[in-house]
Structure 1
């Protein structure tokens, strides 16, 4: 029976009675539970609160203050004696005010004009957009990591199936060879060659089991699952490859590429930094209004109805105009200008990198599509050669060493076929994330 068909059938058997989790389900689970993505979502919420904080700095600010003073040792002042009918040249020691006082008041501050505040409002919007784009970038990284972890897991499972098949066949060949050897029809070396083949396959099987367990744990981690949580997968390499082969690639829209959007956003942020340095040269105007009441007494009895309270109120405007900063402002503006030029150059480089990456990935995917066809045909040939030489070995036409070499050739063809499918799925996902438009819903 053709081993490719058998591989698909055995993988189906492994999935029976399992809680199915296909590749799309794994991606959605990762987007829900992945901790890096959760942190990126928190960054968006922080950016929104930061924007509200920035807006609030330009709105009226009201503060309340209250003070209680108890001068248990009041300060003494010396006053010329003639003020109190005394002798000129002499001084009298007097104290002013009461020993205790209470005051309470409100202060209202309002920014009338501040250029840096206007830039800050724009910068807070850019900061929010940066956080949203970082979320999309993280989401893409999580999707790519999930695909790779998922494919590595089902690849390890497929390798287990192939190795199990090969081991079963090798053990059967060994049993038959031992019987023939005991009857004196073949040399002992032929049996030893098959024993060596079986031992190698047993070791490969144990290693494949370990790698399968490791791959599943990596997938659990990417999806935000506990490492001891049950996990069974329903997608197969063949199924994913068939889906990829039937899916056309979208054309690249550079303006909708997340890396290019982030680069343009960086340019915008550098423009705002330059604008900020220029606006620092503008005057700032702020107004204030304060008022309150003061109470005085020798004892702490300010709650009595007869307590007298003295009101106070004041309003004013503050004007601050930068005049000369010893060329510091000019240097800051020049630095901001140079940083803006750098970000523009970087954006152009990123645009070129994206176009080059698109071309490279399309060529890679095309090669891998052809490589799957090549490795599939090679596997069929290797299977046919192996079957024919197994018959020749049983008929005594070839040695055990020759049979082992031919079987090794089959094992290599199996691995090449599996690896070709794995690489196609991974590369196709990378290309899809590169060319497909991004949506920012957070």
Structure 2
């Protein structure tokens, strides 16, 4: 059974619902175009999902950093049973002297059996230089996460496209070899009949059988390669392995020489890798500012409100007249004096890290230029090879037809037909291999130009 994926809500939503709610449909064949495969992969590929989760983590880190500047309120309630009240020693002299105690000190227990307390504490940051730097760093990290997500999407598109093309070219190779095998079967029957009639030699029959056996082995290899490429495509898409898919496009339909030539003339845009590196530079610079800000004193407002009670038994402790209120407020100024040059060493390390990233930026810009030059050169060569192989295929087809006609009319040999058939198979394989190489080179150039 075949199911065409068409939905107003898009391929991603459709397949997500299908996979979640209809496990029994796992034996159906899902027919996918390249665009549908890409759309599904951008939602369900593991790397794509993790990149989206990283953005959510970055958003949560901004909230976490912001909360540090808001009032921090904590409440505690405790009930304590003083099982053994500590002893305090007083001098046995003066007005407190006890003549009945033969000692120079008096052991006295100050405390009751049960105490309880309800305390609320407030802490409000008034000034902290590192807070604002840290908040900006959290927002910059979110920006980096978004750039990382864009880079992941580019990588997912690249891997899915290449896997999709690999499946298509293996489909074509399988069909070509099967067609070639069919031609040889026909030729074998004709030659066998001629041999039995005495118009052909046994070597002619054996020659065709050898080539047929080789083709049968080749078909098995291509089938294995097709199955592997299909599983790789499902893996890149994030599609469960137990689902069967069928590609609804042909590889020759995805190539346009006009589009390829136009791509060679494209200058390209800004690469996402540059944005990633520049954002990392900003983060390291903010890290330096954060460490420097730790030299600045910070000021906090604090306050405490508490209610305390005490009694000799638990039944008396919760009476209203036994609870007493206490409260205090204040300011706390923390002044860093000397840290053993720890922050100074940290700042030096981060400045060296900043220099390393600046060097990487220069290298990245040069590397992007080299990648674009290399990708354009490769695509141009593949276009030329594709044109040559297209012409060779037409010539090989014509040679095979002529050899077949000559053989059928009795003016050609069996060997000529076998060799022409083999040359046609090679020419067709070379043609589709050149077509596949052109598509791969197109993907590489689009990535190098920053337009994938």
TM-score (norm 2): 0.87
Q: How far has the Cα of 1:45 moved from its partner?
A: 0.6
Q: How far has the Cα of 1:105 moved from its partner?
A: 0.7
Matches within 5 A, 1:131-150: 131-150=145-164
Structure 2, unaligned runs of 5 or more:
1-27
What is residue 353 of structure 2 aligned with on the other side?
339
Contact in 2 for aligned 1:194/1:404 (Cα 8 Å): yes
Structure 1, unaligned runs of 5 or more:
1-16
Q: Deviations over 1:129-166 (max 9, x none)?
A: 12111111111111111111111111111111111110
> Quick check: 314-323 or 239-248, which moved more?
239-248
What is residue 28 of structure 1 aligned with on the other side?
39
Contact in 2 for aligned 1:60/1:111 (Cα 8 Å): yes
1:52 equivalent to 2:63? Answer: yes
> Quick check: 137-146 or 380-389, which moved more?
380-389
CA distance in 2, matches of 1:173, 1:49: 71
Pick from 94, 98, 101 the counterpart of residue 86 of structure 1: 98
Q: How far has the Cα of 1:367 moved from its partner?
A: 2.0
Matches within 5 A, 1:96-115: 96-115=110-129
Contact in 1 for aligned 2:115/2:317 (Cα 8 Å): no
Contact in 1 for aligned 2:89/2:106 (Cα 8 Å): yes
Q: Quick one: structure 1 residues 25 and 243, their matched pair in 2 at CA, closer, same or farther if it must change by over 3 Å?
A: farther
Contact in 1 for aligned 2:309/2:317 (Cα 8 Å): no
What is residue 14 of structure 2 aligned with on the other side?
none
Q: Deviations over 1:80-121 (max 9, x none)?
A: 233424249632221112111001111111222222222211
Q: Quick one: structure 1 residues 146 and 247, their matched pair in 2 at CA, closer, same or farther if it must change by over 3 Å?
A: farther
CA distance in 2, matches of 1:376, 1:214: 28
CA distance in 2, matches of 1:130, 1:73: 59
Number of residue equivalences: 420
What is residue 360 of structure 1 aligned with on the other side?
374
1:322 equivalent to 2:333? Answer: no
1:118 equivalent to 2:117? Answer: no
1:39 equivalent to 2:32? Answer: no
CA distance in 2, matches of 1:251, 1:165: 43
Contact in 1 for aligned 2:375/2:448 (Cα 8 Å): no
CA distance in 2, matches of 1:26, 1:89: 94
1:74 equivalent to 2:85? Answer: yes
CA distance in 1, matches of 2:336, 2:451: 47
Contact in 1 for aligned 2:29/2:243 (Cα 8 Å): no
Q: How far has the Cα of 1:420 moved from its partner?
A: 1.3
Q: How far has the Cα of 1:59 moved from its partner?
A: 1.6
CA distance in 1, matches of 2:399, 2:35: 38
Contact in 1 for aligned 2:29/2:244 (Cα 8 Å): no
What is residue 442 of structure 2 aligned with on the other side?
428
Q: Quick one: structure 1 residues 45 and 76, their matched pair in 2 at CA, closer, same or farther if it must change by over 3 Å?
A: same
- In angstroms, what is the RMSD of aligned CA positions? 2.3
Q: How far has the Cα of 1:397 moved from its partner?
A: 5.5
